[in-house]
Amino acid sequence: MPSEVGEPSSPSSDRDDQNTATLGVNVVGVVTDELTAIRASWSAFEYEMLLSDLQQIGPIVGLPAYAHGQPGVWLRHDVELDADAALVIAQTEHRMGLASTYFVCADSPFLHADEVRLLLPRLRDLGHEIGLHRIWGLESTEERWHFFGFMRNETQNVTFHAPGVPPWRLAAHPAGAVVYSNLANGVGSYASDSTGRWRWGNPKEASAKGLPLQVLTHPFWWSGGEMDLRALGASWRAFLPQIANPKDRNAP
C-alpha cells in the first residue's frame, strides 16, 4: 500500500537516511539482524512542525470530508505501539486547534488493556475521533470493543493492521470501505510513516498526485524514545514482520 508523509521543508525529511539506519538497533545502537529495540525516528516537536507543513498543503479535514473527496488533508493515527505517545500527539493537535482520528489496536502485544481504557476518554476530551485498528483476519467481537471502552457509534469505521494486504482488499471489507475506498480507487493521495520513515516519499511529494491527502502516522515514531523488545518475546515479530525480517527492513 502506498504511504508516506514527510514535511515539505522540515528537518525530519533530511534525516530519512538516518531514520532508516536507526530503525532496528541493539542496546548499543548498532544495526543487527537480531533486533532488541526500536528507536523513534522523530520527536514530538518535529510532529508539530509536520502539522504546520501539512496545513500549507491544504485544510485539515475529518474522515467524512476525506471519504467524500473534499480537498484537504485527513490526519489518521494507527495506535499500535505506545499509548503515551498517542496522547502527546493528541495534545499537540488540540493545542494547534486541530482534530484527527485515532484508530487504537486493542489486540496489539505492545498495548495493555488499562492503557487503552485510560487513553480513549482522554482522546475524546481533546476533541478527536476514535476508531478501532483491527488486525486483519482477526474479527474483534462486540464484547471486546465494549471491554476496551469503544462505543459502537465510534467504531463503524476501522483501519486494519495488514502488512502487505493491498488497498482494494481492505476497501472490500464492509468496515474498511470508508477509510480505504479512495486509496483503492486512486482518488487523491496517501502518505505514511510506516516503520519510522517515509518509505514512499514525503507528504509534499504525495500531495502532488492530488487532494484529498490521507496522512497516516504511528505515534511511537514521533516520541523521540526507544522501546525494548526483549520483554515481548516472539509476539512482536508476528505483529511487525516488516521490521522483524532483515530483508524487508530497508525495502521500499
Q: Read off the pLDDT of residues 92-119 as tens digits, 9 standing for 90 and up.
A: 999 999 999 999 988 899 998 888 888 9
Is 1 contained in some domain? no
Q: Is 5 part of any domain?
A: no
Predicted pLDDT at 26: 34
Nearest-CA neighbor of 93 among 122, 135, 133, 64?
A: 122
45 in any annotated domain: yes
The residue that leads in pLDDT, 158 or 225, is: 225
Burial of residue 116, with CB atoms counted within 10 A of its CB: 0-12 exposed, 13-18 middle, 19 or more buried: buried
| DSSP-derived pairing of the beta strands 60-61 and 37-39 | unpaired
Q: What's the domain count of the chain?
A: 1
Q: Please, what's the b/e burial string for 13-40 (b: 16 or more CB within 10 A of its CB; e: otherwise)?
A: bebbeebbbbbbbeeeeeeeeebeebbb
Q: Is residue 92 part of a domain?
A: yes
- CATH number for the domain including 164? 3.20.20
Q: What's the Rg (C-alpha) of the chain?
A: 17
Angle separating helix axes 83-95 and 44-57, nearest 10 degrees: 50
**Segments forming the whole domain that contains residue 167:** 11-249
Q: Is residue 176 situated within a structural domain?
A: yes
